[in-house]
Structures are given as structure tokens and as C-alpha cells.
Amino acid sequence: MANWQEMMPSTRAYMMNKVLYELHHKPDHLEAYNDDADAYLARFALPQDLADCIKGNDVAQMYLSGVNPYLLRAHCIGVKIPEDVSLAALRSLLNHEGYNNG
Amino acid sequence: MAEITGIYTASHTPVMLNFPDRIPAALREEIFAAYRAMGDDFMAGKPDALIVLSNDHLHNFFLDNFPAFCFGCAESYESPIEHWLHAKRRTFAGDQAFGAYLLQNALQSDFDPAFSMEMVLDHGSLTPLELAGIDPDLPIVPILINCVQPPMPTMRRSYDLGRYLGKAIADYAGVERVAILATGGISHDIATPRMGMVNEEFDQTFLSLMEGDDIDATIRYATDFVHTAGNGCEEIRMWMAAMGAANGAKYHRTYYRAVNDWYTGIGIGRFEV
Ligand SMILES: [Fe+2]
């Protein structure tokens, strides 16, 4: 049992964190993302799988990628993923072998 | 020389403001009344300044530069920073001279906090202040501890920070009466598979230890078992700091309930200073 997926963030997690952070703190970023998610995400040169899980609102995969949970939480609320949907996606990982690295 | 009028600990969660209706009205009223009771007790001490021990939730700080401890030294603080938080915007007065004193004195005492002269406080500070009904004109000094992104300072170091603060406040001549509000915890998970599964057993044991007189055992329990109580429970670092500032004063809880639908073990209490 652990509280965290990564005890030191990986570069992959850092890259995803940066997207979620800027999206909800920089003026006009959320609007740009909502207008054209692909164009917005292309600014960050993310690995494709990370861009895909952000664009697809794949909360479980974002969690497993080591994203900071507070940024993930703010993102779920900020892009209006329904509360019960994000909760169910996270809960589905409870017995996943990759959850907090076992 | 300043007198400490009260040291309080209280949970915080944005859910209280964003999704109040996820719990029954009677329970919600009971919880809000517990915060108001804390606020009344707090104001009865007639403090001239408030130290808010809290944490930033990756709003002011990001992984490009993340302080373990950060002292606020601003004239005022806007709040909230979250565009998605259902709270009315307000501006808290800052006690800049007090913040600067605590910062300079910390460095002289071999503590090395970062400092900030411009922060927008998030729900961690705003929610308990708002629910307790604390006057926004009461000057504050926010002191933020990293509890949200490993690696983080240890529980013991957070306690030591509080010990430092207790002594430095007592030596300060710039205000007469100071209250401390430590916010965060207890058991909760934010955006993890365990979200909504409050570890009440942890909370009860932790509160009992806080109420006892074995400080080392409390720090040890916090250190060794926080991993069972959720990433949000890492915020008990602020409780460690409050315990340090209290310097052996007795603690008692005034409210506790494990509220799974608000994802949080909600605990409120105070030290008999
Ligand atoms: Fe928090």
C-alpha cells in the first residue's frame, strides 16, 4: 500500500503534469483546449499515448501514468468530467497491478 | 512579546463548497456548525494576527520549482486561485512585517524556507477560514508545507518547524495576540483508486495520540501509517507543525466524522494553550 504512484516524478509524469497545470492556470488555455484539443496538445510534444489519454478523458490511464493526483483532480473538475465517471474510473484500478506500483 | 491565543486544527476540502449536496443536509449542517464553533472560539481569543499553516495544491507552485516550506510575506492575498472552486473571491490582509520576521528568524535558526511575496491562496486556506466565519481583515501569515508532491519534508521536520514557530512567535513584539490555524487531513484520498474510502481507524488512532502526551509516538504513527490513510492524509504535516508550536499543550478534538461522500475524515480540534 502506498499513497503515491511515483515517489519521484518521472519525466513522462512531469510532461503530463505540465499540460494539466498550464491548462487550468494560464489565461485562455482552457478555451484553446476546448476549441481544438489536438492543436493545443501539440504545443507540448507529449508522447502520443499521453496525449491520447488526456484527450480521451481516460482518468484511469492518466492516474497510472504517474500524473500528480491533485492536478488530475482539478482537471477532472475543470473539464467537467462527471464526478461519478471519474470516481468509477479511479476505483476500477483498486486491484490493478500497476496501482501505486503494486 | 506575543501571546498565542489558540492553536486549531481543521480539515479542508473543496468538496464542501463544490458538492455540498453529496451528503445529507443534517450532516452538512452538523459539520458547518462545527467549523462555526471553531471560528467563535477563535474570535473569542481576540487575536491580532493569524498564522495559517496550510499547503498549496499545485496552484502557486509547480514541479519546475517546488518549495518544501514557503512563508508568505505579502501585504495581501487574493483567494481562491481555482477557477473551478465555488467560492466568492475575497482578499485577505497579510501581515507582511510578521511574515518577514518569521522568515528572517527562520534562516537565523537554520531553517531554510522559501518565501513568496505574491500568492493566491487556494481552498486549503480559504475553506476553513470561510466556514469558520473568520474576519478577512484579520492579518494573516500563510506558511505552506509541501504535502502534495513527493518527495516531501518528514513529519518530524514539520513538527520541528512548528517548534521554531512557537518560539519565534513568543519573541515577536510586533503583535500582541496570535492564533494559529493548521488545516488539512485527516484520512482522505484525492484522485486515487481509494478516493471515498476514508480510513477511520487511522483517524481515530491519530486523534487519540494527538490527545495523549506522547509526542514522539504521535510523530512515529504519522510517519509509519500515513500511507494507509491516503495522499490527502499527508497534510497532517500541518498538524505536526501545530503540535510543535503548542509545545506540549494538551490537544482535544471538538469534532470528528468520517465522511466518505465528501471523501474526507473531517477532524477539528484545538490545543489548550
Ligand atoms: Fe488539501
Buried b (16+ CB within 10 A) or exposed e, B124-144: bbbbbbbbbebebebbbbbbb
Beta bridge partners of B50: B140, B179
Is pLDDT above 80 for A101? Answer: no
Give the Cα separation of A7 and B159 in Å (integer): 22
Residue B216: CB partners within 8 Å, gap ≥ 6? none
pLDDT on residue A17: 98
The predicted model gives B254-269 an average pLDDT of: 97
Share of chain B above pLDDT 70, in %: 100
Q: Which three cell numbers stand for residue B109?
A: 535558526
DSSP string spanning A46-92? Answer: --HHHHHHHHTT-HHHHHHTT--HHHHHHHHHHTT--HHHHHHHHHT
Inter-chain residue contact B195 with A87, CB threshold 8 Å: yes
pLDDT on residue B157: 98
| Chain A residues with beta carbon closer than 8 angstroms to that of B228 | 1
The predicted model gives B203-222 an average pLDDT of: 98
Instruction: Measure the CA angle with vertex B184, ends B149 and B66; round to 5°.
Output: 25
* B148 and B230 Cβ atoms separated by less than 8 Å: no
Domains of chain A in sequence order: 11-95 (1.10.700.10)
Phi, psi of A96 (to 5 degrees): -75, 135
pLDDT on residue B2: 95
Q: How far is A9 from chain B (nearest CA, A)?
A: 8
Cis peptide before B186 (omega within 30 of 0): yes
The predicted model gives B98-122 an average pLDDT of: 97
Domains of chain B in sequence order: 3-271 (3.40.830.10)
Inter-chain residue contact B84 with A18, CB threshold 8 Å: no
ipTM of the complex: 0.95
The predicted model gives B97-116 an average pLDDT of: 98
Is pLDDT above 90 for B88? Answer: no
